[in-house]
């Protein structure tokens, strides 16, 4: 009986995956009219040396766009990204500013990094973009074209590129399958607002109406929360069909595991009980469960091989739609799906996570709770100190 249930889930999973692929295809067919090109301030928070950092930053300085500025924000002169930021500013002095400020209070380090840059920005439209993003010269024009009078936020599709190590290859395979088709499915079929922090274009008036950075400074998923608050204010959250590149070249396997463990915990806190539907987008993992439960029987092996073949074909088609290629990395798709299937369970076990050198617990709607492993010892120490001083 259990095997029949799992087999049913395998076929349902393939059907769900097919719908997600259809959603991507429909999204990529969307086109926008080039009507208005308002001045834009681009805010790029920096921390550490991301892969391809100089070229990533420079790609934003080569935009075919009438008027814009690029603000690179850091918290520390000793950050290795500072030297790269200075090189970019020296090369494009009329376009680029470098801001260093660590005085603002925020539990989310990325938000903390952006507050001073936002205050220094001079244009009414601003765009938040991560440092590991590379774009083509038409990026700003294509993105702003999705902004209408009733739109509060425009975000972009992302694809992974540049993988040279195992961790980076796995990361790009996940971005170019589960991530991109999931956001398209939410947008096209479920009509749910989906904002991606790699690229977010807004008007300052709309942003400040939802509370600005003060409303998201203590949550982990600030991109999700900004989209949610915009939606609640009656503003549209537009997912632009223009794809930007997330450059991942030299990732370790550990970094891949850490990121997707963090993302899984974020999705669990956002989705709640709906999180249990998510495995339906991973047919390889579900079929592997059937393989194990059936004791690696001939029939279960046959079904598993068939599912893996179909899934690889789907992913290759997804890359074709994005005008990309997995190359030989395609053989890692089953391994990636099995690993992410195991990662899915981690939020059910622990809500603790590490990000940018900090350890947190994650609360409802990704509220950040500082984590102190020696909390009990500190409590006892403080009580003893109080007793002695009194």
Domains of the chain and CATH, by start: 2-22+265-345 (no CATH), 31-257 (3.90.550.10)
Instruction: Give the separation between CA 156 and CA 201, rounded to whole angstroms.
Output: 9
**pLDDT tens readout for residues 125-168:** 999 999 999 999 999 999 999 999 999 999 999 999 999 999 99
Instruction: Give the separation between CA 356 and CA 106, rounded to whole angstroms.
Output: 13
Query: Is residue 203 a contact partner of residue 124, using CB atoms and an 8 Å limit?
Result: yes
Which residues lie closer than 8 Å to 39 by C-beta, 6 or more apart?
66, 67, 68, 69, 123, 124, 125
Least confident among 115-119, 211-215, 297-301: 297-301
pLDDT at 382: 57
Q: 136-160: string of b/e by CB count within 10 Å (b at 16+)?
A: eeebbbbbbbbbeeebbbbbbbbbb
Residue 373 pLDDT > 60: no
How far CA 57 is from CA of 164, 216, 228, in Å, comes to 20, 25, 28
pLDDT at 5: 84
For 234, list phi and psi in degrees, rounded to 5: 85, 10
Residue 140 Rama label (left phi>0; alpha psi -120 to 50; beta)? alpha
For 144, list phi and psi in degrees, rounded to 5: -65, -20
Return the structure tokens found at 375: 């909390």
pLDDT at 213: 96
Query: Is residue 347 a contact partner of residue 272, using CB atoms and an 8 Å limit?
Result: no
Residue 380 pLDDT > 60: no
Instruction: Give the separation between CA 124 and CA 205, rounded to whole angstroms.
Output: 8
Segment 198-223 shows an average pLDDT of 96
Helix, coil or strand: residue 162:
coil
Residue 381 pLDDT > 60: no
**pLDDT tens readout for residues 280-319:** 999 999 999 989 988 899 988 999 999 999 999 999 999 9
Complete DSSP assignment for 188-207: HTS------TTEEEEEHHHH
Helix, coil or strand: residue 356:
coil
H or E segment and range at residue 237: strand 236-247
Q: Which of 122, 158, 120, 119 is nearest to 139 (CA)?
A: 158
Residue 384 pLDDT > 80: no
pLDDT band at 343 (very low <50, low <70, confident <90, very high): very high
Q: How far is CA 18 from the centre of its chain?
A: 22
Strand ranges (DSSP E) for 101-163? 125-129, 133-134, 151-161
Least confident among 51-55, 89-93, 273-277, 353-357: 353-357
pLDDT at 355: 72
**Burial tier of 326 (Cβ tally within 10 Å: 0-12, 13-18, 19+):** buried
Residue 272 Rama label (left phi>0; alpha psi -120 to 50; beta)? left
- What average pLDDT does the structure give for the chain? 92
Instruction: Give the separation between CA 157 and CA 184, rounded to whole angstroms.
Output: 8
Residue 388 pLDDT > 80: no
How far CA 169 is from CA of 17, 164, 288, in Å, comes to 21, 7, 22
Residue 377 pLDDT > 90: no
């Amino acid at each position: 009986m259990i095997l029949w249930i799992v087999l049913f889930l395998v076929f349902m999973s393939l059907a769900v995956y097919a719908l997600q692929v259809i959603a991507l295809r429909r999204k990529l067919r969307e086109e926008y009219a080039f009507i208005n090109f308002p001045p834009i301030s681009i805010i790029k928070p920096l921390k550490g040396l991301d892969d391809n950092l100089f070229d990533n930053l420079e790609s934003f300085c080569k935009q075919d766009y009438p008027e814009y500025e690029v603000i690179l924000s850091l918290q520390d002169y000793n950050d290795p990204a500072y030297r790269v930021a200075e090189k970019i500013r020296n090369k494009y002095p009329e376009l680029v500013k470098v801001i260093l400020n660590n005085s603002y209070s925020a539990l989310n380090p990325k938000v903390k990094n952006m507050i001073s840059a936002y205050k220094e920005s001079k244009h009414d439209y601003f765009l938040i973009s991560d440092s590991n993003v590379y774009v083509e010269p038409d990026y700003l024009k294509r993105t702003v074209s999705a902004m209408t009078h009733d739109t509060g936020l425009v975000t972009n599709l992302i694809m992974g590129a540049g993988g040279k190590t195992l961790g980076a290859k796995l990361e790009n395979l996940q971005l170019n399958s589960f991530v991109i088709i999931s956001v398209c499915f939410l947008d096209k079929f479920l009509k749910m607002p989906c904002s991606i922090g790699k690229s977010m274009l807004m008007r300052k008036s709309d942003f400040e109406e939802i509370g600005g950075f003060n409303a998201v400074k203590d949550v982990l998923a600030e991109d999700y929360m900004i989209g949610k608050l915009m939606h609640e204010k009656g503003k549209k959250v537009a997912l632009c069909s223009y794809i930007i590149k997330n450059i991942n070249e030299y990732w370790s396997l550990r970094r891949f595991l850490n990121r997707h463990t963090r993302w899984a915990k974020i999705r669990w806190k956002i989705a709640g009980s709906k999180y249990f539907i998510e495995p339906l987008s991973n047919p390889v993992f579900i079929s592997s469960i059937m393989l194990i439960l059936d004791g690696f029987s001939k029939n279960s092996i046959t079904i598993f091989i068939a599912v893996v073949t179909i899934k690889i074909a789907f992913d290759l088609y997804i890359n074709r739609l994005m005008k990309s290629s997995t190359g030989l990395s395609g053989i890692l798709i089953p391994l990636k799906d099995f690993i992410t299937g195991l990662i899915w369970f981690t939020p059910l076990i622990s809500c603790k996570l590490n990000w940018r050198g900090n350890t947190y617990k994650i609360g409802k709607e990704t509220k950040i709770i500082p984590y102190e492993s020696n909390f009990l010892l500190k409590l006892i120490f403080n009580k003893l100190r109080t007793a002695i001083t009194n």
